[in-house]
Amino acid sequence: MDLRQLTTFHRVATLLSFTKAAADLNYAQSSVTAQVKSLEVALGVELFERLRGRIRLTPAGERLLPYAERILSLVDEARDKTTGWAEPTGLLTVGTSESLTSYRMPPVLEFLHHRYPRLRISLRTGSADRTCEALRHGALDMGFFMDARTEHAGLRTERLWSEPLVAVAAPGHRLAGLRGLGSGDLAAVPLLVPEAGDCYRELLEAELTDAAAGPGPALLEFGTVESVKRGVAAGLGVSVLPEVAVADAVAAGALVVLDWRPPFEVHTQIAWRRGQQVTREMRAFIDQTVRFAAQDAPDLPHVPDAPVEPGGFPVREERAELQLVG
């Protein structure tokens, strides 16, 4: 049993796919299969059940997985303690959301690509719940997502900032320019939402259903945030989206921000498995994500609480500085 075999076993076990593990490790699939087979021979047990079109861990594989994680983590820790801060390398798999992938990640990924060319980032888009579940099962190294909750079973979570949400409409919409809108006003018009799973969508639906005079808001479900923005700009209804996701459309005049503030908060946060070592690769990702987010505070023309001079838009001041030790 050697480290290469354990590394390969760990990737296959977390991804439950020889093909995906081979792609992540940049190996031929035959090499991955041979390494797992050699490990099984050395231990005298089968580690995977080969089913029709899929695989799963055997009881022996389930018992080996946490030891493999601890051994590989100790190897990383020993390397760091022996050589000092080394350049991040290898593959870092990060579970995230569409909004963060599209509007927070590009400058981070560009910086990391040029600063650490040997580090590969793989983003896996999904809901916060799916990301947390994948973290608990070891299928991801870390998660970067929005959620109303900041504590998650089995995970270490660090809150970075409250993610501002805004209600938007087309400039000619009947709610545009009105002051003091309530949740009942939004519930009375068609509401465009992304696919199910976004935490703020679920909170918004509950809020508007409670505020509606009738059966609740008429929901028009679109697959992505970008398609929601296009539908809103076309006058199909209103939507509530992260401020960072609509900044470009508001600046271009395609959307306007409505005078409504959500009575709930969602928080952008990072998470990883409890007990997992924060590696140098994870620290590099965290540090640059926080740094670029602090520079990326959009100045949207919010309707202020009191009149201001033209161009005097309020600025959101809350941004995060996170330091992790060890």
The domains of the chain, with CATH numbers, are 1-83 (1.10.10.10), 87-160+266-298 (3.40.190.10), 165-257 (3.40.190.10)
Query: What is the CA angle 287-292-295, rounded to 5?
Result: 135
- For the residues 169-181, what does the mean pLDDT come to? 95
Q: Which two tokens stand for residue 112?
A: 């990391």
How far, CA to CA in Å, does 157 sit from each of 130, 150, 198, 318, 324? 15, 7, 18, 19, 12
- Amino acid identity of residue 203, one-letter, is L
In sequence order, the 6+-apart residues with CB closer than 8 A to the CB of 46 are 40, 58, 60, 61
Place of tokens 């970067």: 144
What is the DSSP secondary structure assignment for residue 212, as one 8-state letter?
A: -
- pLDDT > 80? residue 323: no
**Cα–Cα distance, 303 to 311 (Å, whole number):** 11
Question: What's the whole-number average pLDDT of the chain?
Answer: 83
- For the residues 280-298, what does the mean pLDDT come to? 78
Contact between 288 and 108 (Cβ < 8 Å) = yes
pLDDT of residue 197: 65
Q: Which of 99-103, 113-117, 273-277 has the lowest mean pLDDT?
A: 273-277
**Cα–Cα distance, 43 to 226 (Å, whole number):** 51
**Cα–Cα distance, 14 to 257 (Å, whole number):** 43
Give the highest mean pLDDT range of 83-97, 234-248, 266-280.
Answer: 234-248
Nearest Cα residue to 186 out of 232, 227, 222, 149: 232
Plot region of 173 (φ>0 → left; ψ -120 to 50 → alpha; else → beta) = beta
Q: How many other C-beta atoms can be found within 10 angstroms of the C-beta atom of residue 299? A: 13
**Cα–Cα distance, 97 to 59 (Å, whole number):** 33
- For the residues 301-305, what does the mean pLDDT come to? 42
pLDDT of residue 83: 66
- pLDDT > 60? residue 312: no
Place of tokens 């947390």: 132
- pLDDT > 50? residue 156: yes
Q: Which of 58-72, 165-179, 238-252 has the lowest mean pLDDT?
A: 58-72
- pLDDT > 60? residue 325: no
Strand-pair category, 155-162 with 267-273 = antiparallel
